[in-house]
Structure 1
């Protein structure tokens, strides 16, 4: 935890709402990205993000000199697991077809003056879709570890703290998840 972040946490624990708002601004995009990658649903990811910060705020007095980032990610992953269990128990059916939901349209973009060619943008978007689709096919514990380490840049120790599992378990889940991703992406013409 950086000294500035540590100061913000201490100030937040003393009731400084501005300090907590700075922590929210620092982490909200990362927490949303984590939830979106794990759950694959925008509304659920927004709810998890909001609930993560509410839970963190309410539990700040119990936070003790550790990694604030790991603590926050633990709250977020637990919230994602809760949503995942709830959806498993009570599936939500969409009126729209699954194909329409998977095929998100590219936003109209002005490529004049841009270094990115439209073809490259389409390829990048298709690759992102393939990776997200493959991630969604992983077991939730494997998906979570890939998102934490490969996309959120947590180290093994931080991921272990966030998930409350041993480092060895982090490494083995990550290895199995990466192998499964390679298989899934290889079968769909993705990255090998």
Structure 2
């Protein structure tokens, strides 16, 4: 999309033109979902967060100054929405699946649907990718977002700087620290795997 075309669509969207807004998000829908999915690690949650991003973007488009591209602005919203969700999750009460549910007339066992992947889904999954994704989920939220934006989504340092709203030097430093932290997690998993294999 050309810059002039984007500016025209932004101006129309600012005046409430939903069709113009929809044209703006067509090019970034997939990446918004991918960022959300990598951040929260769940397809349904990522879908909900992506919808939240688009609603938030539409409601606040009047505040979009055009200092960056529209896509950079919406990716910043995505990162913030995901980080907010991750913070909320840390504050939620966790209930054990083994814990009975107390009712007036006695306790009942908690029943959960089986969400195990089907055999064909398992066949499709790549073990290395799975280990890396699990390891990324173990990173602190700031590091996780840096790895996702740079190494998975392929944003440039400049783009990430605009998305997370901090200097490029800070971005490079955080990415370096995030990669070191990820490397340590992966090495620990490899050592654990090697020990199991030797046994």
If the length of structure 1 is used for normalisation, what is the TM-score?
0.79
Q: Which of these two proteins has the greater Rg computed from alpha carbons?
A: 2
Query: Which whole-Å deviations, capped at 9, do the CAs of 1:88-144 have from their partners, x for residues lacking one?
Result: 001455749xxx87x7445369xxxxxxxx7xx55xx11221111010010000000
Deviation for aligned residue 1:169? 1.4
Output the aligned Cα RMSD.
Answer: 2.6
Deviation for aligned residue 1:59? 0.9
Higher relative contact order (CA 8 A, sep 6+): 1
Q: Is the 8 A contact 1:44 1:83 kept in 2?
A: no
**Shift in CA distance, 151/7, structure 1 to aligned 2, threshold 3 Å:** farther
The alignment of Structure 1 onto Structure 2 pairs a total of residues equal to 174
**Shift in CA distance, 93/46, structure 1 to aligned 2, threshold 3 Å:** farther
1:53 alignment partner in structure 2: 54
Q: How does 1:1-192 map to 2 (within 5 A)?
A: 2-3=2-3, 4-65=5-66, 66-93=68-95, 95=97, 104-105=117-118, 107=120, 121=124, 125-189=126-190
Deviation for aligned residue 1:14? 3.1
**Shift in CA distance, 168/105, structure 1 to aligned 2, threshold 3 Å:** farther
Unaligned ranges ≥5, structure 2: 99-113, 192-199
Q: Is the 8 A contact 1:142 1:173 kept in 2?
A: yes
Distance (whole Å) between structure 1 residues aligned to residue 186 and residue 145 of structure 2: 18
Unaligned ranges ≥5, structure 1: 110-117
If the length of structure 2 is used for normalisation, what is the TM-score?
0.76
Deviation for aligned residue 1:15? 2.7
